[in-house]
């Protein structure tokens, strides 16, 4: 009986120690991220006309929920080249197909495909690969940000918004991209490969505007998409190197949301 009690006590102490290590590990990751100011910009290229895309849409929704308190930014681009196969994706744009083609050049890819995820403009893989995505995010969060960006909305209304920016650590090859995101939406697909399904989406890019940086700070006037609702949308800025495609800084605009 005595030996049994000792065994139970030892097992309890082992479990407690493992739990403590897990907590310490989580705190350490947060500390590392805080010190390095790393970030992960996850760009998903998807389409409602692609039968392989819903699992990737679900994955980024899961990541977005889990990492809501971390500097992880999801941007979902709906490409337009699937529209010829029976269903027109209402969120699609030729601009997003063009952006994906630009990445193919940066990353020396022979072709584009969906679902595709690109993290920080440097790493690409099939959008439904959860383990690969998690590893890419963790690596990015532990890598120091080469540039810093801050955004704020000074005014918004009547289909327009004024966005102030301040950027540090940029060079002549850096541009600012302003993305206006719809936080979530659902679509009942009537035709095509996903016909009969109701699809859910998060962080849908509804507008992407390129800004040539003029000094370290400035004001950008952006047109708000139809249906813009401050509570259900947000504005994110990205600093990107036009020679390599690498994303060097990112920020969510302060003042976006229900307080506008």
Q: Which of 250, 230, 64, 69 is nearest to 153 (CA)?
A: 230
Task: Give residue 28's pLDDT.
Answer: 39
Cα separation, 221 vs 219, whole angstroms: 7
Is the Cβ–Cβ distance between 249 and 149 less than 8 Å? yes
Q: How far apart are the two ends of the chain, measured CA to CA in Å? A: 68
Pick 5 or 172 by higher pLDDT: 172
- The number of residues in the chain equals 260
Binned at pLDDT 50, 70 and 90, residue 156 comes out as low
Binned at pLDDT 50, 70 and 90, residue 37 comes out as confident
**pLDDT tens-digit series, residues 89-115:** 999 999 999 999 999 999 999 999 999
Q: Which CATH superfamily is domain 38-252 in?
A: Glutaredoxin (3.40.30.10)
Q: At what angle do helices 2-36 and 130-141 cross, to 10 degrees?
A: 60
The residues pairing with 165 across neighbouring beta strands, listed in sequence order, are 151, 218
Q: How far is CA 259 from CA 6, 60, 83, 122, 157, in A?
A: 59, 26, 36, 35, 12
Binned at pLDDT 50, 70 and 90, residue 207 comes out as very high
Binned at pLDDT 50, 70 and 90, residue 36 comes out as low
Task: Give residue 260's pLDDT.
Answer: 39
99 φ/ψ angles, rounded to the nearest 5 degrees: -60, -40
Task: Give residue 206's pLDDT.
Answer: 97
**pLDDT tens-digit series, residues 47-102:** 999 999 999 999 999 999 999 999 999 999 999 999 999 999 999 999 999 999 99
- What is the arithmetic mean of pLDDT over 232-246? 97
Pick 35 or 240 by higher pLDDT: 240
């Amino acid at each position: 009986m005595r030996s049994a009690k000792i065994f139970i006590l030892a097992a309890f102490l082992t479990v407690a120690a493992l739990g403590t290590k897990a907590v310490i590990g989580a705190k350490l990751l947060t500390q590392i991220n805080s010190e390095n100011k790393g970030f992960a910009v996850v760009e998903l290229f998807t389409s409602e006309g692609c039968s392989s895309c819903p699992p990737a849409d679900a994955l980024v929704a899961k990541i977005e929920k889990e990492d809501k308190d971390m500097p992880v930014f999801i941007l979902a681009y709906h490409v337009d080249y699937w529209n010829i196969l029976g269903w027109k994706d209402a969120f699609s744009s030729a601009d997003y197909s063009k952006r994906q083609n630009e990445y193919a050049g940066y990353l020396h890819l022979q072709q584009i495909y969906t679902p595709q995820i690109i993290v920080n403009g440097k790493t690409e893989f099939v959008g439904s690969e959860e383990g690969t995505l998690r590893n890419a995010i963790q690596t990015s969060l532990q890598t120091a940000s080469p540039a810093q960006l801050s955004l704020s909305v000074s005014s918004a209304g009547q289909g327009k918004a004024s966005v102030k920016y301040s950027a540090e650590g940029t060079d002549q090859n850096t541009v600012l991209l302003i993305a206006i995101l719809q936080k979530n939406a659902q679509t009942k697909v009537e035709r095509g490969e996903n016909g009969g399904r109701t699809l859910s989406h998060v962080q849908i890019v509804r507008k992407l505007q390129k800004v040539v940086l003029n000094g370290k700070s400035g004001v950008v006037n952006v047109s708000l998409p139809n249906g813009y609702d401050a509570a259900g949308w947000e504005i994110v800025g990205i600093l990107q190197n036009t020679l390599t495609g690498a994303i060097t800084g990112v920020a969510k605009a302060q003042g976006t949301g229900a307080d506008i």
